[in-house]
């Protein structure tokens, strides 16, 4: 007869509120209910003492990680020793976490199989968040390029009397000949037109 | 087309004046001359530097001198075997206190001369008085438990009759946030590398009470931490990097280059603060607060006095302080791990072709030199010292047990 293990208490520290929410959701969906999220490390010793976490998840780039780690060493706030990561010998897990930009601290002696799903979840959510941020950035730059091309077309239409289709075809041909992006050609053209334009009245 | 590179090396660094040698190695072409394509990555914490060294994102890194020792002793999370084959200069730190605390210290006999003995006595008097008035203990910040800052602050306090564990509270704050924490009264003082003391004095929120160079003259601060597995796999790349760093250190030491160096370090990829702030530390002309500038001897030494030599006596002194403050138990094995972390053998074999001064010994009695003294060396002649501790104590690495015993409380 195995006793049902007590639920794990997890503390998530992330200055990025959106990412913290994404991780929190993931862990909650996976059935972890004892979650605490903090965005600011001010007063973190108190938070640690109050929640007595089994696992702490923090973003790798957080400048306060040294402060957090020093607490594990010296502060009376931490009642139980905390080590980092599931298992020091699990190099693949460690690499995946550092690659994803997350670090996890785990109470010493906690069984590997209990912690691994948490760390794996944090890693996959961090990666998903990074992907999402990247896609958002791409969408933004696509929108930006489309606007540039529209403006460049307008300049060609008014200065050279081209139709919209011909203006576009000219831009495209130039881009292909110079082996550059359409948006880059459009940008150069807009800059050049700006430089050559007669001073405004 | 650039010159062909034989080696690609990625190094992590923190925004500090003493990243100068690594930065100059890249920016002034010393790395490229050795066939190294050196990429520098600014990090946000020492923990991140350690982790990325452990998983191989970095082959080498700017590290606090005790960090590789702590890693090899298994005292830190994600501890990968790390060696220190070169130091990144001597000195460079200051102890800064809030204007309020400084005024009280002056009332108790402190002078604006950076003297650690009088400043320490004054601080002790302030603490005694506060204890009578039931005031909260003073909060003093350092950046990391395994740092020169932590140990020299504690050394200064203890030698001044202040118990760092009982009479004050030592807390941890990232360097760029120190001046703000002081201004916000979250802390009463801190020990940190430049330009983060200057940050407080130019903002008018703090006063430099003393400096590392006065607590322990010519003392170790940062090293190049190298992933041991990489060093074993790529000995030629490491040797080339050590030569590039040595040349860079020499360049950094020349006064004529200080303005250019300050400009480079001020860049957003490095320290990201005004060049004028960095010049204080480079010239040793510290803005100590209240509009006063003090010339400090040997404030930061990048090259002279074998400043890049990884002395085993430095490693053992750090180890003695880890034992002193309860971070590790003293055993013969642990002492050997600390001693073997620093690798003067690799330094010597890599730098021999340069004809620079190479100390003949691996260890020295720390604090024994009261004036500049010629010592045995290969290559160019070498002057060391003065290297005294402010309380006149000596650290003889051959008498480690006695030193540790003598520091027990």
pLDDT above 90 covers a percentage of chain B that reads: 93
User: Strand B222-227 to strand B82-87: parallel, antiparallel, or no bridges (unpaired)?
Assistant: antiparallel
Nearest to B51 among A60, A88, A91 (CB): A60
Span A95-124, mean pLDDT? 84
Question: Binning pLDDT at 50, 70 and 90, where does residue A68 land?
Answer: confident
Query: What 3-state DSSP class applies to B392?
Result: coil
- Of A86-95, B16-25, B131-140, B141-150, minimum mean pLDDT range: A86-95
> Could you tell me which residues come within 8 angstroms of residue A185 by beta carbon, excluding any fewer than 6 positions away?
A152, A171, A174, A175, A178
Interface with B, mutate which of A66, A82, A85, A123 (most B CBs under 10 A): A66
Nearest CA in chain B to A74: B145
pLDDT of residue B2: 45
Query: What 3-state DSSP class applies to B339?
Result: helix
What ipTM goes with this model?
A: 0.89
Closest CA–CA distance from residue A2 to any residue of chain B (Å): 32
Span B179-191, mean pLDDT? 96
Q: Residue A13 in contact with residue A57, Cβ under 8 Å?
A: yes
- pLDDT tens per residue, range B229-273: 999 999 999 999 999 999 999 999 999 999 999 999 999 999 999
CA atoms of B154 and B325, how far apart (whole Å): 9
Q: Residue B228 in contact with residue B83, Cβ under 8 Å?
A: yes
pLDDT of residue A89: 58
- pLDDT tens per residue, range B305-316: 999 999 999 999
For residue A195, pLDDT over 50 is answered with: yes
Q: Contact B47/A69, CB-based, under 8 Å?
A: yes
HSE, CB side, 13 Å, CA atoms: give it for residue B301: 23
- pLDDT tens per residue, range B344-372: 999 999 999 999 999 999 999 999 999 99
Query: What 3-state DSSP class applies to B2?
Result: coil
pLDDT above 70 covers a percentage of chain A that reads: 88
Q: Contact B76/A66, CB-based, under 8 Å?
A: no
More confident residue, A18 or B263: B263
* Residue B272 forms contact with A (CB below 8 Å): no
- Contact residues, chain B, for A91 at CB < 8 Å: 55
The pTM for the full model equals 0.88
- Of A86-100, B211-225, B307-321, B389-403, minimum mean pLDDT range: A86-100
Nearest to A103 among B51, B170, B173 (CB): B51
For residue B323, give the nearest of B73, B63, B9 by alpha carbon. B73
- Contact residues, chain A, for B48 at CB < 8 Å: 60-61, 65
For residue A86, pLDDT over 50 is answered with: no
Query: What 3-state DSSP class applies to B146?
Result: coil
Q: Contact B77/A105, CB-based, under 8 Å?
A: yes
Question: Binning pLDDT at 50, 70 and 90, where does residue A1 land?
Answer: very low
DSSP 8-state secondary structure symbol assigned to residue B177: G
For residue A201, pLDDT over 50 is answered with: no
Q: Contact B173/A73, CB-based, under 8 Å?
A: no
Nearest to A66 among B47, B56, B170 (CB): B47
Span B164-181, mean pLDDT? 94
More confident residue, B142 or A128: B142
DSSP 8-state secondary structure symbol assigned to residue A8: P
- pLDDT tens per residue, range B64-79: 999 999 999 988 888 7
CA atoms of A192 and B193, how far apart (whole Å): 48
Span A80-90, mean pLDDT? 57
pLDDT of residue B4: 65
């Amino acid at each position: 007869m195995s006793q049902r293990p007590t639920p794990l208490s997890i503390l998530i520290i992330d200055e990025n509120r959106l990412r913290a929410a994404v991780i929190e959701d993931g862990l909650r969906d996976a059935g972890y209910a004892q979650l605490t999220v903090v965005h600011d490390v001010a007063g973190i010793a108190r938070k640690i003492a109050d929640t007595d976490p089994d696992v702490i998840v923090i973003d790798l780039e957080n400048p306060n990680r040294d402060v957090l780690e020093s607490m594990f060493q010296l502060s009376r706030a931490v009642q139980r020793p905390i080590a980092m990561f599931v298992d020091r010998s699990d190099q693949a897990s460690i690499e995946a976490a550092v690659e994803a930009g997350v670090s996890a601290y785990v109470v010493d002696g906690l069984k590997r199989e209990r912690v691994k799903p948490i760390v794996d979840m944090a890693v996959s959510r961090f990666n998903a968040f990074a992907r999402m941020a990247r896609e958002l950035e791409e969408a933004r730059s696509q929108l930006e390029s489309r606007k540039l091309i529209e403006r460049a077309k307008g300049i060609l239409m008014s200065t050279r009397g081209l139709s919209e289709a011909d203006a576009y075809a000219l831009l495209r041909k130039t881009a292909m000949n110079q082996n550059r992006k359409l948006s880059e050609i459009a940008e150069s053209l807009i800059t050049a037109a700006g430089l050559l334009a007669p001073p405004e009245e | 087309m650039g010159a062909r590179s034989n080696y690609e090396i990625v190094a992590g660094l923190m925004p500090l004046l003493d990243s100068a040698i690594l930065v100059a190695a890249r920016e002034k072409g010393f790395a490229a001359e050795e066939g190294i394509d050196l990429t520098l990555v600014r990090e946000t914490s020492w923990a991140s530097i350690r982790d990325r060294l452990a998983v191989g994102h970095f082959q080498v890194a700017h590290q606090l001198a005790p960090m590789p020792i702590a890693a090899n002793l298994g005292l830190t999370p994600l501890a990968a075997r790390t060696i220190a084959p070169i130091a990144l200069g001597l000195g460079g730190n200051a102890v800064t206190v809030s204007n309020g605390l400084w005024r009280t210290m002056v009332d108790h006999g402190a002078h604006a001369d950076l003297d650690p003995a009088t400043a320490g006595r004054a601080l002790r008097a302030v603490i005694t008085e506060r204890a009578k008035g039931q005031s909260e203990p003073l909060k003093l910040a350092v950046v990391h438990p395994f740092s020169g800052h932590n140990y020299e602050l504690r050394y200064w306090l203890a030698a001044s009759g202040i118990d760092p564990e009982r009479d004050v509270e030592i807390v941890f704050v990232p360097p760029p946030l120190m001046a703000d924490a002081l201004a916000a009264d979250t802390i009463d003082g801190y020990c940190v590398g430049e330009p983060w003391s200057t940050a407080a004095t130019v903002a008018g929120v703090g006063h430099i009470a003393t400096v590392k160079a006065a607590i322990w003259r010519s003392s170790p601060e940062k090293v190049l931490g190298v992933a041991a597995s990489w060093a074993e796999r790529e000995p030629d790349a490491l040797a080339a990097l050590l030569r590039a760093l040595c040349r860079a250190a020499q360049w950094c030491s020349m006064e004529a280059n200080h303005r250019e160096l300050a400009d480079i370090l001020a860049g957003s990829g490095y320290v990201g603060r005004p060049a004028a702030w960095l010049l204080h530390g480079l010239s040793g002309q510290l803005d100590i607060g209240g509009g006063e500038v003090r010339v400090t001897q040997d404030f930061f030494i990048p090259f002279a006095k074998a400043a890049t030599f990884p002395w085993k006596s430095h490693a053992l002194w750090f180890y003695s302080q880890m034992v002193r403050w309860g971070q590790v138990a003293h055993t013969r094995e642990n002492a050997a791990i600390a001693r073997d972390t620093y690798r003067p053998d690799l330094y010597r074999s890599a730098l021999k072709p340069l004809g620079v001064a190479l100390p003949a010994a691996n260890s020295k009695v720390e604090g024994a030199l009261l004036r500049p003294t010629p010592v045995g060396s290969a290559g160019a002649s070498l002057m060391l010292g003065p290297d005294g501790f402010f309380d006149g104590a000596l650290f003889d690495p051959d008498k480690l047990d006695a030193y540790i015993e003598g520091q027990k409380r």
